[in-house]
A and B are shown apart, each in its own frame.
Chain A
Amino acid sequence: MEKIPILKMGRFLLVTVQVDMHDQLALQLQDDLTARIVAARARGVLIDISSLEVVDSFIGRMISNIAAMAKVLDAETVVVGIQPAVAITLVELGLSLEGVRTALNVDRGMALLQERLADEQR
């Protein structure tokens, strides 16, 4: 069965979505990620969607759900790499990805997660 790989980097999990996901695959990712957050005691999740050419309301809802679930599990979610055409379409569609932090690219996303962890340890 196809699956979207979840990588562990220190205290964070990294997901790169590279395929045009069908709905079941998106739901699977949601389940896998929440399980991995707990198993890896992750404090942050970085989701790179720079390869996604379409984010419709289903995928948008999945992203919001992941962020909400991660938050309950004390992990921060950052979505990075949203393509400009996708950003324009999301707004026109009426999807604001509320509660989801975004960053332009993986580097900035990682910096955001590290900052948050550093703030806590101060």
Chain B
Amino acid sequence: MAVVNSVVLPIRTQEDIVRVRQATREAAVGQGFSLVDQTKLVTAASELARNTLDYGKGGDVEITRLSEPPRRGVRLVFTDQGPGIAAIDQALPGGFTSGGGLGLGLSGAKRLSNDFSIVSKVGEGTQVMIARWR
């Protein structure tokens, strides 16, 4: 799996979420994603960026364009040093929220992606990885 290029963006403000959406769209377009696939990835990015800001108290995202002929993909890795998620198995199925939202963020992002993984340690932070391929 070859990395075509990679950028890291901070997630500290609500405007940063907008920037993450735009940068994700750019990467998806650059990789030749269809409009539906672009939209799914950008929506997933928006959910996870908001999680990073609201629950993780800020962090960053690494947006990477991947090449694995014949397929091409975009990988997003969201990292925060926030409180961590104690009950991932509760947060993941959806519908569960500790932050006043709908609880769709994590589960929705997972459904909208081809690859998904999450590592979280209470008191240390959370890292969520998603990837989508064409």
Interface residues on B, range: 20 to 34
Neighbour of A89 across the interface among B21, B43, B107, CB < 8 A: B43
The secondary-structure label for the interface of chain B is helix
Cβ of A57 and Cβ of B101 under 8 Å apart? Answer: yes
Measured CA separation A55–B108 after assembly (Å): 12
**Would A54 and B46 be within 8 Å (CB), given that A22-B15, A85-B39, A89-B40 are in contact?**
yes
Question: Chain A interface (Cβ within 8 Å of chain B)?
Answer: 20-24, 53-58, 60-61, 83-86, 88-89, 92-95
22 contacts between A and B (CB under 8 A): A20-B22, A22-B14, A22-B17, A22-B18, A53-B39, A53-B42, A57-B47, A57-B105, A58-B46, A58-B50, A60-B102, A61-B102, A84-B36, A85-B35, A88-B40, A89-B39, A92-B108, A92-B111, A93-B47, A94-B104, A94-B107, A94-B108
Question: Chain B interface (Cβ within 8 Å of chain A)?
Answer: 14-15, 17-18, 21-22, 25, 35-36, 38-40, 42-43, 46-47, 50, 94, 101-102, 104-105, 107-108, 111-112
